[in-house]
Structure 1
Amino acid sequence: MSQKAKTLVLDPDHFDINELQPAVDIIRKGGVIAYPTETVYGLGANICAKEAVERIFRLKKRDPQIRLPVLVSSIEEALQLCKDVPDYAQQLMHTYWPGAVTLVLRAADQVPEWIRSSENKVGLRISDHPVTNALIRQAGLPLVSTSANRSGEPPAVTAQEAAASFAADVDLVLDGGEARLRRPSTVIDVSGPSVKLLREGAVPFEQIMGTLRRAENAGEGKFRILFVCSGNSCRSPIAEGLLKKKLPEELREKVVVESAGTLGLNGSPATEFAIQVAGQYGADISEHRSQGVSEELVKEADLIFAMAREHQRFLQLHFPEVRENVFLLRTFGREAEDKVSDSIEDPIGGGLEVYQKCAAVIDEELTRILPRLKALIQEKLGHSQTNP
């Protein structure tokens, strides 16, 4: 009977880089580990260790012709493993990495043949999990990355599930807590002039295409409104959904309403209570997936509404060039003597009633500012149409 692999438990929010040394040693020596990501748990090895990569194929009972994707720790590292990268693909790297999007590109000449596909392509991703990113940096080596499950079985989302399947077959199980997204990454081929969806995953393909459409349509007469909170799972998606519902029909094609979070979390759905209370106002946010605040989003926005003072400060600190477009939703358009709280409290962790109170405040504020928004939208769009 095979001896079970040791499990190394690390708190992803508080760990010492030196605690990773056993995993680093195994990777450098050509071993195989199970490790955490924000999507699901994975099986990993040094991409240059052919025997280790073949071992993973055997463990998963996977067709070796279906090549394994690669995790890297930076965009610079990714660009060393691919070539002929389209501009739009680099844009997606900067928008969705680290995060739950795997990009398939033309492989650079130095990529090992057991990593390159028959079409000379390689899948690349930067994980949003701090333990795994630190491991790759410490090892100084990219990792092959594939979900920790036998082919055809559900992927593991905890170290315990990964160990149940592979503890007797890998050299170490790295426990970094439960996978936050509990879904594999979205895989898209960006090696050519247009995007091809290979696998729908944690980040909706439509969201990715929306990112590219925004870039293409920049300056084409759209008015853009961005709501910002912390995790982009409660307040800001509720505000986004409610405003889309409140906008007059004639403006809906001319206004882009989005939301994002200062914590930089990508691919998480809105909370169940957020979906429920938004639905009480006729807004469907069930397909929402979180995204972090980015330079692209804030620079394209005509108005940015922060849900709380801390979000306003974050935006003004990190994006000072757009500070004049950043407003607190609760104080936008109010007279100075109006005595209201400037922040909308975070309902996360609360029950349905807490969410209902939060949504009621957001609904009230959107109703209050809607006439002003209509005027600003008409002012910009009318001006752009008469002065091309």
Structure 2
Amino acid sequence: MASLDTSKTNTSPTIITGTLLSTVFSGRWNEKLVKDADGAYFFDYDPVLFKHLINQLRYWSLNPLVTRVFSSPSGNQNEFISFVRCLKFAERFLSDTFSEKENSNVKIVDNQRLCVKIGEDQHCAYVTGTLLYFQGKHFIKLVTSLTKQIGFIGIRPANIPIQVKSTKTYLPISDTFGIDNNCLVIDGHCITMGTSWVTGCLSNTFVIELDCDARTMHIKRDQYYSQIDHGPIYELHLQALLDRLFHLHRLHFISCSHSTWLRPPFQLTHTSVRELGLINIEYSNEQCTVLTRSPLGIQCEVLYIHIKNRICILDLIQTMANLRFLQVECDENWTNQQSLETTDQLIEWLQSRISSKWMIARQNHRSSPVVLWIR
């Protein structure tokens, strides 16, 4: 299955380009997020759900003494207030408005849609509404589907059993949403993990964990994997995912089905991919030949790969015209581990057969990968 990484090596962590998180913080919703037929973004499918999230973030932003730390998958840290400001305009979609309780320490402004704190003795729990989340830990799940749509899966307190519930009252589309071990929702449509879901193969799922007691919010990236073979349907879904990642630079595959001869990167295409990671998948001579003739193989400049024999190394270097860095694990390596010779037979063998423009090295241990790069 593919592991996507669009960030180049640098000293500071960055949010991966093309993900839901990077879109959230870009401030360019109209350009990047897909709307449904009713003109609603993913967070508009359940306005009450979105209100819970915004209301919690607003409460944290009103208290200057509260630590507002946002933890993204890359480790980036931002204040909650920035997140609130980025999303606040979407409150115009809310069908439910806030209201004041008598003698409360908050007031409602902006056409009953904005809560403002006016006292310090209490918090915004005085604001009425459905299921205000002010205590404990809660989970919100979002999913980006392979049809270029983004949708809610659900929200629930961490200590309450999972239930799939009808949302026909709020949704612009009449279906259900929920979060369940055997049931997920893509674009408002409820499907089961045991049937239709597995045909999706790979779908990015984000879990927002709201910890009201610790005053923190963590967004975690999760992935669901298909158990079906890597056939044409798999490639179509994966290609659709790649088409959404405009600045993708690195593409690493961490596993591959053993029931098929085919190996990544198949016939996938992407204009900006220059690095392929195939280190956990074994390639024969014939499979290496297919790799070198594939669209991504032809444009590849950096390659990490696991091969069956040393002849594959020569084929890769001689055939991949754009290759400038190669790290390779070779199964033939293992036959030399018990040798008492001080020379590295594999490196000597390569040096006698490839151009002198290539440098060859590896760490002291004989089983370490061999690294080749152009001077």
Q: Same fold (TM over 0.5)?
A: no
Give the alignment's TM-score, normalised by structure 2: 0.28
Kindly indicate which of the two structures has a greater share of residues assigned to strand: 2
Relative contact order, higher structure (CA 8 A, sep 6+): 1
Kindly indicate which of the two structures has a greater share of residues assigned to helix: 1
Give the alignment's TM-score, normalised by structure 1: 0.28
